[in-house]
Amino acid sequence: MRKRLAGLTGLATLGAVAGWLVTAPQRLDASQVAQGPGNAAAGARLFHAGGCASCHAAKGAKGDDRLKLGGGAVLATKFGAFQPPNISPGPDGIGGWTLAQFDNAMRRGVSPDGRHYYPAFPYTSYARMTGQDVADLFAYLKSLPPVAGKPPETALAFPLNIRRGIGLWKRIHFDDLPMVTLPPDAPAAVRAGQYLVEGPGHCGECHTPRGPLGGVFRAGWLGGAPDAEGKGRVPNITPAKLTWSEAEIAEYLKTGFTPDYDSVGGTMVEVQANMAALPDEDRAAIAAYLKAVPAVK
């Protein structure tokens, strides 16, 4: 009896240790981590492509206020309310961070103090960025005005409040592999679009349905999904439904008007404003890629 009890305790301990190891935050290898120095001017493009201001600037901010990244409006989802933190270059933001710490946040979802971030922060997409782009973005963020004050930390209900659980979630749902396998002869524009859409643009985070645990459903890539905040549907942007020409898609991203002059609406208004700040060739690349992805019925 005592032997059995000892065995059980041993097993439980072993399980706990294994669980602890399995859920441990995985940082980038030294060989992978971005090397500076970054180019702030080049980073501006990634800032727009990544839509940082949409979550980290104050809600409804216009003009230069979009560069004050003190933490924005709460994202209210069925999993709970996620509070975007201050990512301005002051002491309340990322002022004291190193590039390696920033890179681990962006591409591994691990905070400087070794905790998992919730994937409401789309590192699940940013993981596909190049180290150079992460370095450039970091340099750009460092050039923005510091903002004082820390918004309250995201507080979800049990069991989602146990951040270690995200480690398990990452093992199931997190990788940096391409979402779409392009043919070897795919044009350069399609590849450039793939990078923007699957990486910094994180388009799939809203436009792709998710499974019960909140992981992106690969086979439904860009096939449309219910809005995360419960407001209607995010449309299918695969060729099954998006029948506009490449030029029309690029024009929509630039002006916010559809080919029949309906206007952009909902949360896409913010996104389109970001896309409008990109160079023409980036919007053309995004359009080329969207025409090349598998149709999701």
Partner 1 sequence: MMRAVLAAVLATAVILPATMATAGPIEDRKAIMKGNGRDTKLAGDMLKGAVPFDAAAANKILANYAAAAKAFPAHFPANSKTGGETEAAPAIWDKPADWKAATAKFQADTAAAAAMKPADAASFAKAFGMVTANCKSCHEAFRIKKG
Which residues here bind partner 1, judged by CB under 8 A? 227, 231-233, 235, 256-257, 260-267, 269-270, 272
Q: Are 56 and 84 a contacting pair, CB within 8 Å?
A: yes
Q: Residue 236 CB, nearest distance to partner 1 (Å)?
A: 8
Helix 131-142 × helix 99-108 angle, to 10°: 120
CA 165/CA 182 separation, integer angstroms: 33
Question: 175 vs 262, which CB is nearer to partner 1?
Answer: 262
Q: Are 285 and 190 a contacting pair, CB within 8 Å?
A: yes
Cα separations in angstroms, 20 against 8, 165, 170, 233: 18, 10, 14, 38
Question: 9 vs 263, which CB is nearer to partner 1?
Answer: 263
CA 234/CA 73 separation, integer angstroms: 20
Q: Residue 240 CB, nearest distance to partner 1 (Å)?
A: 13
CA 9/CA 4 separation, integer angstroms: 9
Q: Residue 54 CB, nearest distance to partner 1 (Å)?
A: 12
Q: Residue 258 CB, nearest distance to partner 1 (Å)?
A: 9
Question: 198 vs 270, which CB is nearer to partner 1?
Answer: 270
Question: 75 vs 144, which CB is nearer to partner 1?
Answer: 75
Q: Are 189 and 285 a contacting pair, CB within 8 Å?
A: yes
Question: 158 vs 261, which CB is nearer to partner 1?
Answer: 261
Q: Residue 146 CB, nearest distance to partner 1 (Å)?
A: 28
